[in-house]
Amino acid sequence: MLPRFDFHIHATDGKARTGIIAMRRGEIRTPAFMPVGTAATVKAMKPQDVRASGADIILGNTYHLMLRPTAERVHRLGGLHGFMGWDRPILTDSGGYQVMSLSELTKRSEDGIVFKSHLDGSRHLLSPERSMEIQRLLGSNIVMAFDELVPTTSTREVQAAAMERSMRWAKRSRQGFDAGGDHAESNALFGIQQGALDEGLRKVSADALLDIGFDGYAIGGLAVGEGQAAMFGVLDYAPGQLDAAKPRYLMGVGKPDDIVGAVERGIDMFDCVLPTRSGRTGQAFTARGPVNIRNAKHAEDQGPLDPSCGCPTCGSFSRAYLHHLVRAGEILGAMLMTEHNLWFYQQLMAGLRAAIANGRLSDHANAFRSAYYGGEG
Ligand SMILES: [Zn+2]
């Protein structure tokens, strides 16, 4: 029987690592990119096609699922895996980020957050205990601790207070998760480091999390508008403040070049809506940079989106056809563009893993950047 949760690092190159997270639901090759399946679907993609792109794990959103169709209903229907037809690992977020960005907050206290649904105005509570309960009902394999977020423009005092509260909530999350007992699905709990762009706050947060003890550690509060240079500035020290033997997950990141730079700085896991969301709006990622397929210059281009891509879209369809589909608002356009983007991200991760294993990450990353920034898409 596969272990509950086990992380093996097979090779390192500088600060970067490549390895395997072994779980009952399957293995996750790291560095890993997790497509976002917000509402029990990776938008425009069937689960088998998500898998075919190379994804070992997907992410589900607690906030969306607790409101519709509700965690209790998903549980009655056998959990998220059976409900959506994805039998491999699933990570769920805690709901904290989205409740603060999407809903109308009515009360914020040490207990938790009372908010109004963005769907129908109904009133709900999210707390560390309730977030653990929801993620368990969903059948999540990697559960995220519930934390508090404040705008990055907040004063250091406000940032520090939110980080301190998040650490108290991390402890309550640990207790709530453990109170659920042994569970076939809930295999791991990750803590989330906060502290904005402040090295001292990040250290206090890391020490508090290490003291509680988690199966993995996320770096939260980045990719929220601070810019790549500021984010890399934090990533120069933050991963080193965490437990080197556990997976490090950079939440909500990012653009392909963000991912390459973060892998060089020791990050093992990523999630982002970018490949799926961009696919639906006509943006494709390629080795020669992003392409806006709506652009008139693609109208009669019979070449593929990316000649170096092995995806089914690039194997069968021209830029001209995709241009037509997207401009006409055809559903197939969103499907094919999303499929290409997910393959592009997984091919990017596979290339990074191979480069780390072969001890040539630096050359590989530099060659990627030179083509990505130097190309015309
Ligand atoms: Zn492709």
pLDDT of residue 106: 80
Q: Which of 13, 56, 215, 271 is catalytic?
A: 271
Q: By the 8 A CB rule, do 304 and 340 touch? A: no
Quick check: is 268 catalytic?
no
**Sign, CA torsion 202/194/19/359:** negative
Q: How many residues does the chain have?
A: 377
What's the mean pLDDT in 287-301?
98
Per residue in 205-263, pLDDT tens? 999 999 999 999 999 999 999 999 999 999 999 999 999 999 999 999 999 999 999 99
C-alpha 167, offset from chain centre: 21
Q: Which of 93, 215, 258, 268 is catalytic?
A: 93
Residue 93 marked as a ligand binder:
yes
Task: Give domain limits for the chain.
Answer: 33-272, 279-374
pLDDT of residue 149: 86
Among 5-19, 149-163, 254-268, 277-291, the minimum mean pLDDT is found in: 149-163
Q: Which helix (H) or strand (E) holds 340?
A: helix 331-357
State which residues have CB under 5 angstroms from ligand 1, the bound ion: 309, 311, 313-314, 340
How many CA atoms, within 13 angstroms, populate the side-chain half-sphere of residue 238?
Answer: 30
Task: Domain 33-272: state its class.
Answer: alpha beta
With a pLDDT cut of 70, the percent of the chain lying above it is: 99
CA gap 187, 91 in Å, rounded: 10
Two structure tokens written together for 325: 């589909």
pLDDT of residue 181: 82
Q: What totals of helices (H) and strands (E) does the chain contain, helices first?
A: 16, 16
Q: By the 8 A CB rule, do 126 and 172 touch? A: no
pLDDT of residue 1: 60
- Extract long-range pairs of 244-249: CB within 8 Å, 24+ residues apart: 245/7, 245/9, 246/7, 246/214, 246/215, 246/216, 246/217, 247/7, 247/21, 247/30, 247/190, 247/215, 247/216, 247/217, 248/216, 248/217, 248/218, 248/219, 249/190, 249/216, 249/217, 249/218, 249/219
Residue 279 marked as a ligand binder:
no
- Look at phi and psi of residue 139 and say left if phi exceeds 0, alpha if psi is from -120 to 50, else beta: left
CA gap 74, 77 in Å, rounded: 5
pLDDT band at 79 (very low <50, low <70, confident <90, very high): very high
Quick check: is 257 catalytic?
no
Q: How many A from CA of 232 to the centre of ligand 1?
A: 28
pLDDT of residue 130: 97
